[in-house]
Amino acid sequence: MDDLEKAILIMFDESGTINEGLKEQAKNYCDEIKGKPSICSLCIEKLCFSNLVQVQFWCLQTIHEVIRARYSLMSPDEKYFIRKSVFAIACFEGVDDNNVVRVLEGPAFIKNKLAQVLVTLIYFEYPLICSSVFVDFLPHLSKGAIVIDMFCRILNALDDELISLDYPRTPEEYSVAARVKDAMRQQCVAQIVRAWYDIVSMYKNSDQELCTSVLDSTRRYISWIDIGLVANDAFIPLLFDLILVDGLSEQLRGAAVRCLLAVVSKRMESQSKLSLLQSLQISRVFGLVTEDGDSELVSDVAELLTGYAVELLECFKRINSEDAKGASMELLNEVLPSVFYVMKNCEVDSTFNIVQFLSGYVATMKMLSPLREKQIFHVGQILEVICVLIRYDPVYRNNLDIFDKIGKEEEDRMVEYRKDLFVLLRNVGRVAPDVTHLFIRNSLASAVASSSESNVEEMEAALSLLYALGESISDEAIRTGSGLLSELVPMLLSTRFPCHSNRLVALVYLETVTRYIKFVQDNTQYIPMVLAAFLDERGIHHPNINVSRRASYLFMRVVKLLKVKLVPFIETILQSLQDIVARFTRMDYTSKVLSGSEDGSHIFEAIGILIGMEEVPLEKQSDYLSSLLRPLCQQVEQLLINAKVLTPEATDAKVVTLQQIIMAINALSKGFSERLATASRPAIGLMFKQTLDVLLQVLVVFPKIEPLRSKVTSFIHRMVDTLGSSVFPYLPNALAQLLADSEPKEMVGFLVLLNQLICKFNTSVHNILEELFPAISGRIFNSIPRDALPSGPGTVTEEIRELQELQRTFYTFLHVIATHDLSSVFLSPRSRAYLDPMMQLLLNTSCNHKDIIVRKACVQIFIRLIKDWCARPYGEEKVPGFQSFVIEAFATNCCLYSVLDRSFELHDANTLVLFGEIVLAQKVMYEKFGDDFLVYFVSKGFPAAHCPQDLTEQYRQKLQGTDIKALKSFYQSLIENLRLQHNGSLVFR
């Protein structure tokens, strides 16, 4: 053993006994040898005389690398020597008389590497230099299996490295592949195919593994060789013999099936393809798919049949001749039962898109209306396929029921997987509605009757089909119960499923009942069944908390829809919900059991809608409401006693419970209108006022706990809507309490509440607002920096986001004040101190803010203030200094300089709306200030913008005219002209 061999062995050693330093030395030594000019000769010599596979692999790898990197630099003699030697080794011949070692007797990875080297030579030399490499190889196949195997490896490597379109290729590789294929077609493909046929015929009983390799190579080449070489009276019968003979190995039979699939999938003109498909008589293999469903052969046959069906459908779509269409449909009808069997029972390769094929078939059926008997049968088969494919695997049953991580992942996966299948179901439903309805009815009946282990998955799938069907049915069709719906919906409502305790079944059942609830609107005899489904252990009282939560929400939706029709059942409903409602008056319940999305509010909202209707007699309504509000308010009062001396843990528990109760009361109040609570039944309003009194105490006892402040604020919003102006006496204290110590995040909610009050009551809130505005302004101007808030990448923290939100809400607040005749609030003695900073903020924002909507609001505020505070020309100045500020600062900076800036995008829809407000502002300023505005604007602003005198004069005329549209149009063209003249170099701030 020489030094090179030792170095190679050390480099490839995986025993762990050799240190990394020595390995690195060995690698460096080998790399140094690689750089020698005679390296290929050295490697070929080693291949001939070394039995060490590590040495053989290194030598072949090195030859491969050298050819790829240095081929163009090699001499003709060196190329000839490498070509002759590698070819001789591949053909199982000696390189010279002293050859001892035969590489073809080595392991598979050595032979694969040898094939790769030969393919690299073909890449550079075939057919220009070495034109007969394939023809020269063929006589050597007579040496037997060892050379035939090597030939298959070479063909496979050629496909992998160069020809196959399954891998990305460079333009150069595409060009070389075309060159090689053209030469092979012209020179040797026919001989190679003949060799394949002869080998398989000769060895099919003696060496089935070899035949399998040959057919796998054949399959790869069928896509680009002349199809007649394989699709003929010799080769096709051979393939069918292999497939249909029981004694042969499954691997060989599968390889023959894959060759047939390659023939079927061959790209060609549609009429020729149909003739080919007719000649194959694929029906001979239909029976094979019913064999052992888990075998590889069945999987291969399944892919063959689905591929065959896809091609027939394509022929039907593309061929125009009626006879040819009929022939393709006849063949398709023949294969479809087997295809449907495959889809329901076999693993089909993921490259075959079942939904795409079935959707294409359903689309063709639309053209065949009315459907023939065969098509109606196939519709039923498609529905069965859908039903099977949407079923969950029973292996996940427990995970889905307890809804652990695995269950959640499986449900998410299935939701995504089902989307296309449900689209297909809707399409089938449109093509054959009666068949679809009947199938779903029978599926439901079958699932109910079944007592098998798969009942849960079967039941869930049947219900999911009925649910999905509802998406393609109009509300009117549901209401009238068209088709079989008048039978399906009562069947759904009256059936008790044996697996109703399962989370998935219970959920899809409730969702399906909700989807078809419009049927019950016109068929009120089913209301008791609906109520039972939601109120018993199938719904709100289901043992699974996830089902119970969802049932509460869905029940609320059902109540909203059926509303008046539920009045006779209110007693029954309240009685059924008594235990649920009672939980909210138990101290230990909400904090321990309920969390997240379920807070009881859906149940209370449903009850509120029921008992809040005017159709409920006053006495009963008062009793119902009192029996709900009284215990909840008592619970709040009890929780507030001694709250300040509690431990933090006890305080947290109380806070959570209080939140739940406030949310429940809030939800309950949604069912009561302002007219009912204030005009027709003031006693109801009184109960809510008393409740508001109690809940406002929460702000006193827990003044700084944000979640509670937020919930109480939300309740005040509700009471504004429910009690109308009678809420006024409660507002001063409530608002003062909410304003105290509020953080920026809470301040946003507070301003939103004030906006609601202003929009609802207008000038009636003047005194309240006058009292609060100075404190609000002080708080906000202390929170928001005078400079712009940071906005670059990485600078926007949670705190900055909160300030941005506060700033936006403050602008809305100012806008609401100004546009509801309340601008005098800004001028009260205590608010005057904030007038200047407010004006500067509005000016800066109207000129520079990135949000165009915010800028527009600020311009609108200025327009409104000008109208409110400025009399017609030469009138008394209501706000000293305001007129000059508007003319000198707002007019020039916002109305001229800001729109000259190229960032003001005149082609954007929102910006154009802002531009319209800016033009309107100029018109209003002219109406109010006359020449004071006009002279300053055109004498100071226009010259600074280098506006020509003629355009200035035109602007003056347009402004003095009455056509605002003409003014806007002219002003836009003026701005665009000024931008063009100065190329946007003037930016005024």
What three-state secondary structure class fits 304?
helix
* CA–CA distance, 735 with 394 (Å, rounded to integer): 57
> Residue 484's pLDDT is what?
86
- How far, CA to CA in Å, does 731 sit from each of 8, 260, 690, 725? 89, 83, 14, 10
* CA–CA distance, 362 with 54 (Å, rounded to integer): 58
Residues 227 and 189: beta-carbon distance below 8 Å:
no
Q: What is the 3-state secondary structure (H, E, C) of 358-372?
A: HHHHHHHHHCCCCCC
Mean pLDDT, residues 436-443: 92
* CA–CA distance, 553 with 529 (Å, rounded to integer): 18
The pair of structure tokens assigned to 726 is 């009678």
Nearest alpha carbon to residue 823 among 809, 813, 833: 813
What three-state secondary structure class fits 440?
helix
Q: Which amino acid is at 951?
A: L
Residues 664 and 601: beta-carbon distance below 8 Å:
yes
Mean pLDDT, residues 766-790: 86
The pair of structure tokens assigned to 152 is 């298959």
The length of the chain is 989
Residue 524 confidence class, pLDDT cut points 50, 70, 90: very high
Between 449 and 278, where is the model more confident? 278
Residues 364 and 317: beta-carbon distance below 8 Å:
yes
Q: What is the 3-state secondary structure (H, E, C) of 701-716?
A: HCCCCHHHHHHHHHHH
- Which residues does residue 877 pair with via DSSP β-bridges, in sequence order? 870
Q: Is the pLDDT of residue 403 over 70?
A: yes
Identify the DSSP state of 870: B
* Range from 436-450, 712-726, 810-824 carrying the lowest mean pLDDT: 436-450
> Residue 596's pLDDT is what?
37
Residues 6+ apart with CB under 8 A from 523: 481, 489
* CA–CA distance, 567 with 282 (Å, rounded to integer): 66
> Residue 843's pLDDT is what?
95
> Residue 447's pLDDT is what?
86
Nearest alpha carbon to residue 380 among 413, 429, 320: 429
* CA–CA distance, 728 with 713 (Å, rounded to integer): 15
The CA radius of gyration of the chain, in Å to the nearest whole number, is 42
Residues 6+ apart with CB under 8 A from 457: 391, 392, 393, 394, 397
Residues 933 and 877: beta-carbon distance below 8 Å:
no
* CA–CA distance, 433 with 535 (Å, rounded to integer): 33
Q: Is the pLDDT of residue 592 over 50?
A: no
Average pLDDT, the chain: 89
User: At how many degrees (to 10) do helices 648-669 and 706-723 cross?
Assistant: 20
> Residue 945's pLDDT is what?
85
Q: Which amino acid is at 663?
A: M
The H or E element containing residue 83 is helix 76-90
Residues 113 and 64: beta-carbon distance below 8 Å:
yes
Q: Within 10 A of 642 (CB to CB), how many other CB atoms are there?
A: 10
> Residue 988's pLDDT is what?
41
> Residue 790's pLDDT is what?
65
Q: Is the pLDDT of residue 369 over 80?
A: no
Q: Where are the alpha helices (DSSP H) in 675-827?
A: 682-701, 706-723, 731-739, 744-761, 766-783, 798-819
Q: Is the pLDDT of residue 595 over 70?
A: no
Using one digit for the tens of pLDDT, what is the confidence trace for 879-890? 999 999 999 999
Using one digit for the tens of pLDDT, what is the confidence trace for 44-81? 988 888 889 999 999 999 999 999 988 888 899 999 99
Using one digit for the tens of pLDDT, what is the confidence trace for 160-183? 999 998 888 899 999 999 999 999
* CA–CA distance, 914 with 613 (Å, rounded to integer): 45
Nearest alpha carbon to residue 152 among 192, 96, 101: 192
Q: Is the pLDDT of residue 664 over 50?
A: yes
Q: What is the 3-state secondary structure (H, E, C) of 608-619?
A: HHHHCCCCCCHH
Q: Within 10 A of 196 (CB to CB), how many other CB atoms are there?
A: 25
Residues 947 and 974: beta-carbon distance below 8 Å:
yes
> Residue 285's pLDDT is what?
92
* CA–CA distance, 725 with 676 (Å, rounded to integer): 14
Mean pLDDT, residues 297-325: 90
Q: Is the pLDDT of residue 987 over 50?
A: no
Residues 359 and 424: beta-carbon distance below 8 Å:
yes
* CA–CA distance, 354 with 669 (Å, rounded to integer): 51
> Residue 593's pLDDT is what?
45
> Residue 455's pLDDT is what?
86
* Range from 171-175, 583-587, 716-720 carrying the lowest mean pLDDT: 583-587
